[in-house]
Amino acid sequence: MSGIPQLLKQNIFAEPMKEANPVLPGAEVFYLDGPISLVYGGSLSEMQIAYETFGTLSEAKDNVVLLCPAFSANSHVRSTEANPSRGWWESIVGPGLAIDTDKYFVVCASLLGSCYGTTGPASINPQTELPYATKFPVVTIRDIMEGHARVLDHLEIDQVHAVVGGSMGAMQVLEFAIRHPQRLKRFINISGTAHTRPYTAAVRHLGRRAIMFDPAYNEGNYGRVLPIAGLRLAREIGTLFYRSREEFNERFDQDPLRAPGLDEIVFDVQSYLNHQGNKVVVHFDPNSYLYMSMSMDLHDVGRGFASRDEAFSQIQAEALTIGVKEDNLITVDEQYDIHESILRNGGRSHWVEISSRIGHDAFLVETDLITPAIKEFLES
Amino acid sequence: MSGIPQLLKQNIFAEPMKEANPVLPGAEVFYLDGPISLVYGGSLSEMQIAYETFGTLSEAKDNVVLLCPAFSANSHVRSTEANPSRGWWESIVGPGLAIDTDKYFVVCASLLGSCYGTTGPASINPQTELPYATKFPVVTIRDIMEGHARVLDHLEIDQVHAVVGGSMGAMQVLEFAIRHPQRLKRFINISGTAHTRPYTAAVRHLGRRAIMFDPAYNEGNYGRVLPIAGLRLAREIGTLFYRSREEFNERFDQDPLRAPGLDEIVFDVQSYLNHQGNKVVVHFDPNSYLYMSMSMDLHDVGRGFASRDEAFSQIQAEALTIGVKEDNLITVDEQYDIHESILRNGGRSHWVEISSRIGHDAFLVETDLITPAIKEFLES
């Protein structure tokens, strides 16, 4: 059985991350003095926020679209001169695209607690001059969303045309619409949820376990030697849910007759998962992975209200909720529940259901399927 | 974040397994001289098989029910005087139960490649006088099934009244019905599949990864210091699929407001998964876990035939296929496909679909739901 352990070894000693929480090329940065109180009771004595903008702000400042990144994403929505690498919504945001940068001024900040220039566990704690690591306070989706609101403050933008996001981004969108009802006219949430259900939390829990089980994790004090094996496995577990069973079963061959023996058995689907695992490794700070993952498990728009209905009744903006029938992480019923909750509490809401064998990740991969609905809704 | 790593540590240094491949109390053992050729090209120079029987063999030897254990199960179907611990089908097999030991003589052998007395990776290789470990040859479901056929030979039983199994056991049942069409009158397969699909293989692959990622696995040469963390995680990943999303979402609370901080956040569903992970640890040889897991990924009844239809056309016995609507590991469509394949190829088949929020594990947990169909079919 030497084949697979051999493959792992190569990766376990992969190059460590170059910088723990780098500001991406071309991103703007600003600082906030604290203490900044967080929902869970912790606070930060200062905060750095990194963001990017795309397009031109109109004189009336009435053409702003605020984007909320998903789990492992950041401010880099599309390629720019300063940072030509492909953005996470390259095919949705740009000149003539669904979110047309010839019309709209797109603002996107990296997430509080993550590792792309906005303060997170890998940042230096000014009180100790060491990285926060697991001393970083618990962050919730609401705290992350408030970071975006602070970017708007910083840019002196009172109200946005729309707030848009998918998956973890959609959770932030909902929090924004509920907590800042007058700061937005419209919002679009895709593959999101109003509160995390136990099965989805179980999936994320196992990803966190994979990282924490790795001896290199060292209770969060891994320095530059990352728990690569754990990070890879966490990502691979996630992949079972970011994509759909239908995709796996149609896309991959499972012909054991081609596999010569246990040493060398690599089904197509195994190679694919290995590839997905590799993708996460050089990019992501393991403590950020844990904090961002936990923020989603803690997500509940009803927090601080008497009920979720009371939370939904705060919403004044018009909603578009897009759900994916094959979503294997957050079911389409959970997504539809957002739409219904808005309507039930007197709001205006539109529901669009798409079918994509990509499942949860459809908003990143099969962007053709969501482009018409986004375009039409933004321009309505 | 000290709470969860602390919890893990306690388990990482848990007591090692007392014996690597013990014969269970009360099990019978017999030996076969080799070489015994296996489907994948390997062979064994000798084989030990451990089995148990329940009930009394009739003089005409016409009351035999052969049971095929699932993944982590063994010959211990129900409690006996010699081994009073609860068996894996305690509520199905026994006096007056669905498989009535007042009528039937029930035979059940532990699995080739597993770790309950039948030869497996933890057994001593007579050629080296060391455990086989990863030098054990690849075993397939068909090889495992042939072990059961050898038990019948040993007991001088030509033909059985029925062969019965669920999950991995159902795979063995299908192989038996196809490869030994005249040795059985009836068979019952529950939550099985005729060939493994890529999504299910991906789930198992990640379980194997979890074990192999654990440094204590040491490429299979762990001696008595087991890769406990990897085994636990493998089992916990499996639990997401052995049970259903519906069960998790109904059964567990996900109230983040009760969770005091990242150090101590333990949602109900996390505690449950921890408990499931603990269950596997003291029982199961890690190499056996890998070999048994891989045997399921290699499962395809069409192996050695021109097509799966040709394989199904071998069947002469009458079939009962039981599927679970909420099965999250092997979909109910895959299970129904067995029934259709038998009919399409001229066989006699009955289909019973049950609904259970337990999902894949329903045949072990909600035995009330399958008792009537099993009883009626065996007595028809």
Cα dihedral sign for A24, A30, A35, A36?
A: negative
pTM above 0.95, yes or no: no
Reference B288, options B173, B170, B135, B133; nearest CA is B133
Looking at residue B265, its pLDDT comes to 56
Alpha-carbon span B169 to B167, nearest angstrom: 5
Contact B89, B169 (CB under 8 A): no
Cα dihedral sign for B176, B178, B179, B181?
A: positive
Contact B235, B276 (CB under 8 A): yes
Percent of chain A whose pLDDT exceeds 90: 75
The length of chain B is 380
Q: Using a CB–CB cutoff of 8 Å, tell me whether B4 touches chain A.
A: yes
Looking at residue A49, its pLDDT comes to 98
3-state secondary structure A51-113: EEEECCCCCCCCCEEEEECCCCCCCCCCCCCCCCCCCCCCCCEECCCCEECCCCEEEEECCCC
What is the gyration radius of the CA atoms in chain B, in angstroms?
Answer: 21
Contact A150, A173 (CB under 8 A): no
Q: What tokens were used for A324?
A: 């994916």
B366 backbone dihedrals φ, ψ, rounded to 5°? -100, 65
What are the Cα distances from residue B69, in Å, to A297, B89, B164, B189? 37, 9, 9, 11
What B304-310 contacts at long range (C-beta under 8 Å, 24+ apart), as own/partner pairs, is B304/B39, B308/B194, B308/B195, B308/B341, B309/B341, B309/B344, B309/B345
Are the beta carbons of B233 and A210 separated by less than 8 Å?
Answer: yes
Looking at CA atoms only, how far is residue B97 from chain A in angstroms? 34
- A66-90: per-residue pLDDT in tens? 999 999 999 999 999 999 999 999 9
Alpha-carbon span B380 to B371, nearest angstrom: 14
Looking at residue A332, its pLDDT comes to 97
**CATH code 3.40.50.1820 for B28-194+301-379:** yes
Ranges for all domains in chain B classified under CATH 3.40.50.1820 = 28-194+301-379
Looking at residue A266, its pLDDT comes to 61
Contact B118, B20 (CB under 8 A): no
Q: Which residue in chain A is spatially nearest to B329 when comparing CA positions?
A: A245
B52 backbone dihedrals φ, ψ, rounded to 5°? -130, 155
Per residue of chain B (380 residues), give pLDDT as tens: 333 333 334 344 444 445 678 999 999 999 999 899 999 888 999 999 999 999 999 999 999 999 999 999 999 999 999 999 999 999 999 999 999 999 999 999 999 999 999 999 999 999 899 999 999 999 999 999 999 999 999 999 999 999 999 999 999 999 999 999 999 999 999 999 999 999 999 999 999 999 998 888 998 988 778 888 899 999 999 999 999 999 888 888 777 655 545 544 567 788 788 788 777 656 789 999 999 999 999 999 999 999 999 999 999 999 999 999 999 999 999 999 999 999 999 999 999 999 999 999 999 999 999 999 999 999 98
Are the beta carbons of B213 and A205 separated by less than 8 Å?
Answer: no
| Lookup result for tokens 């179907």 | B77
SS3 A368: helix
Alpha-carbon span B178 to B310, nearest angstrom: 10
Q: What tokens were used for A156?
A: 């002196």
Alpha-carbon span A154 to A47, nearest angstrom: 13
Q: What tokens were used for B150?
A: 């050898």
Average pLDDT over residues A197-223: 90
What are the Cα distances from residue A202, in Å, to A230, B8, B228, B249? 17, 17, 20, 10
- A14-55: per-residue pLDDT in tens? 444 456 889 999 999 999 998 999 998 889 999 999 999 999
Instruction: Kindly report the CATH number that applies to the domain delimited by A28-196+301-379.
Output: 3.40.50.1820
Ranges for all domains in chain A classified under CATH 1.10.1740.110 = 3-17+200-295
- A350-372: per-residue pLDDT in tens? 999 999 999 999 999 999 999 99
Q: Using a CB–CB cutoff of 8 Å, tell me whether B32 touches chain A.
A: no
What B253-256 contacts at long range (C-beta under 8 Å, 24+ apart), as own/partner pairs, is B253/A198, B254/A195, B254/A196, B254/A197, B254/A198, B254/A201, B254/A297, B255/A300, B256/A140, B256/A196, B256/A297, B256/A298, B256/A299, B256/A300, B256/A303
Alpha-carbon span B150 to A216, nearest angstrom: 47
Looking at residue B277, its pLDDT comes to 77
Check whether A241 has a pLDDT greater than 90. Answer: yes
Q: Which of A8, A213, A236 sits opposite B212 (nearest CB)?
A: A8
What are the Cα distances from residue B331, in Å, to A333, B166, B172, B190, B248? 19, 14, 18, 12, 18
Residues of A in contact with B196 (CB under 8 A): 254, 256
Alpha-carbon span B51 to B24, nearest angstrom: 9
Q: Which of B140, B199, B294 sits opposite A248 (nearest CB)?
A: B199
Residues of A in contact with B210 (CB under 8 A): 210, 213, 233
Q: Band of the pLDDT at A1, cuts 50, 70, 90?
A: very low
Contact A119, A44 (CB under 8 A): yes
Contact B19, B28 (CB under 8 A): no
What are the Cα distances from residue A3, in Å, to A260, A262, B303? 12, 8, 24
A279 backbone dihedrals φ, ψ, rounded to 5°? -60, -35
Q: Using a CB–CB cutoff of 8 Å, tell me whether B273 touches chain A.
A: yes
We find that the CATH architecture of domain A3-17+200-295 is Orthogonal Bundle (1.10)
CA B300 to chain centre: 16
Ranges for all domains in chain A classified under CATH 3.40.50.1820 = 28-196+301-379
CA angle B56, B148, B126 (to 5 degrees): 120
SS3 A323: strand
**Catalytic-residue membership of A158:** no
CA B185 to chain centre: 23
Q: Using a CB–CB cutoff of 8 Å, tell me whether A221 touches chain B.
A: no
Looking at residue B273, its pLDDT comes to 81
Q: Using a CB–CB cutoff of 8 Å, tell me whether A50 touches chain B.
A: no
Are the beta carbons of A215 and B220 separated by less than 8 Å?
Answer: no
Q: Between A and B, how many residue pairs show a Cβ–Cβ distance under 8 A?
A: 179
Looking at residue A41, its pLDDT comes to 85
Between A246 and A27, name the one with better pLDDT. A27
Amino acid at B188: I
Contact A148, A118 (CB under 8 A): no
Q: Using a CB–CB cutoff of 8 Å, tell me whether A268 touches chain B.
A: yes
The secondary structure of chain A in percent helix, strand, coil, rounded to multiples of 5, reads: 40, 20, 40
